[in-house]
Amino acid sequence: MKKVIGLIAAIGLIAGIASAQVVMSKAQDKSVALRVKNGDTTTLTLQVESAGAGNITVTVGGQANVIDGSGSIDTIAEVAAAVAACTNTSLKKTLIVDANSALAADSTDAELLTATYTAAPGKWLELLWDTSAHLSYDIYLPGGEYGSGSYTLKSIQACPVGTGNATVAIYQAGVLIAQKVITSPVYVNAATLLTGGTNVNTNTLGVDATVNIDWPLGIRSLGGQAVIIRASRASSADAGVISAIIE
């Protein structure tokens, strides 16, 4: 009998659970934009101001490194490179940066979650997306040097609350391998119908924020490369969730 384990955040368990299903889940403001491992001997601090449009201050080994997010450093690839270049007081680069949790061109000039993130020596911190600006709910499954083990992506369930068309996309090593688009649902204003309206084109239309997605997949032999599962809305996103079942 297969055992379902709900809401497990530790990706490393994928390799160790034989013939079992794991449910990965991310809600609003919990999707990972960037991961940074602290290779120094003191606590690493990464402070994001103005959702990434202001300074990103990385304090490593007692040395404060200021990254100006208001200029040309405004994508994940550029932020990752800038963080990796940060040094401690001995001018040594001691940070390991994993940027595979997002697409290289993902914008960071107003989409990061304003917060102060910390990691003890030898530990990882996760810089998060501000869902209302990033407009998506993401699950990251590391591969290669950051993850291990082969697995099958069985299905995706999501309720990406928001407005505009909903898109569920799967990326492997940054390349789109599968996609599902759901046209934004609309409804007719009930008051209009009660007053005699019959033509949907002349009635008052509203936008339904709720989209429920159940997408069976069965994509096998994943694990060697990083995978991003992303449920996005075209216009706004808030208070939603995405889940993936992995075996």
53-88, pLDDT tens digit by residue? 999 999 999 999 999 999 999 999 999 999 999 999
Residues 70 and 158 in one domain: no
pLDDT of residue 200: 46
Q: Among 80, 113, 128, which residue terminates a domain? A: 128
Residues 36 and 124 in one domain: yes
Tell me the residue range of the domain where 146 lies: 1-28+135-247
pLDDT of residue 87: 98
> Distance between CA 83 and CA 69 in Å, rounded?
12
Beta-sheet pairing, 4-5 with 21-27:
parallel
Q: Among 97, 128, 159, which residue terminates a domain? A: 128
Residues 247 and 140 in one domain: yes
Per-residue pLDDT band for 7 (boundaries 50, 70, 90) equals very low
pLDDT of residue 13: 43
Residues 111 and 139 in one domain: no
Tally the domains of the chain.
Answer: 2
Residues 61 and 10 in one domain: no
Question: What is the value of pTM for the model shown?
Answer: 0.83
Per-residue pLDDT tens digits for 25-51: 999 999 999 999 999 999 999 999 999
Per-residue pLDDT tens digits for 100-117: 999 999 999 999 999 999
What the block records as the tokens of 53 is 């449009």
